Amino acid sequence: MSVNPVSGMIKIVLSIVIGVVIGSATSLNAFNRHITEDPTKVLHKYLSLDKKGSRLEASSWQVVAPYVDWKEEPAWGHVVVISQFHIVDDVTQWEIVNGLEAKIPVVFDVLGTMHWESVTFVSDPHQETYLFHIKAVYDRWQIVHPQLPPHVGRQRMMDFVRWAELSEPEAKRKALFASLYKQLKAKKQKDLQQ
């Protein structure tokens, strides 16, 4: 009995395709915000996206919309520049409201504040701690409070300021963005030397 080489090849290709589909479906479900998962995963995803600048522009805030219970993002006049954030994963430090709701502390290492209108950076290194109220909305974890201004990492803020400088048509504001970029870069160099 002879085996058809085309038929054998089709079986191999089908096996690979099925494996890829099953693997993809498994990885898609790896993080779905379901209430059976750790709620700090939702916080970490939201805060990581925020640190990467997902809320710097009105058109991009929809990236974090699945993680929050509010329907729109206000126009913030400033951005908090951070070096990092830390989610307190010790459950004994959480405020447990009930089985489907908790307030989880998050600590931000703040470097300062960038003000849009004046195109200035005010250095003010300190730590901020907020209780993020997270609860089950239907069968998914969502953040219901607080709705903070963007907390963006320094390098992402520098990249965004540089982009704003390059795309600004008005010469005066372009010069302000250039100056702000130099200020942020000098602050970074100074911090790295310490």
With 70 as the cut, is the pLDDT of residue 117 above it? yes
Domain spans of the chain, in order of start: 1-30, 40-193
Length of the chain: 194
Q: Which two tokens stand for residue 139?
A: 């069968």
The pLDDT > 70 percentage for the chain reads 83
pTM: 0.78
d(CA 50, CA 184): 19
The pLDDT value recorded for residue 115 is: 93
Stretch (H or E) spanning 189:
helix 171-193
The pLDDT value recorded for residue 103 is: 96
Say if residue 146 is preceded by a cis peptide, omega within 30 of 0: yes
At 165, the pLDDT band (50, 70, 90 cuts) reads very high
The pLDDT value recorded for residue 2 is: 52
With 70 as the cut, is the pLDDT of residue 93 above it? yes
Q: What is the mean pLDDT of the chain?
A: 83
At 32, the pLDDT band (50, 70, 90 cuts) reads low
Q: CA dist 146 to 10, 114, 150, Å? A: 54, 20, 12
With 80 as the cut, is the pLDDT of residue 194 above it? no
58-90 confidence digits (pLDDT tens): 777 788 888 898 888 888 889 999 999 999 999
With 80 as the cut, is the pLDDT of residue 13 above it? no
Task: Tell which CATH architecture fits domain 40-193.
Answer: Roll (3.10)
CB 81 within 8 A of CB 157: yes
Of 164, 161, 154, 162, the residue nearest 187 (C-alpha): 154
Residue with tokens 């409070």, as numbered in its chain: 145
Q: Which one has a higher pLDDT value, 62 or 177? A: 177
34-62 confidence digits (pLDDT tens): 778 888 999 999 999 999 998 888 777 78
Those residues whose C-beta lies under 8 Å from the C-beta of residue 67, and which sit 6 or more positions away, are: 33, 42, 45, 46, 49, 142, 143
At 4, the pLDDT band (50, 70, 90 cuts) reads low
d(CA 129, CA 115): 21
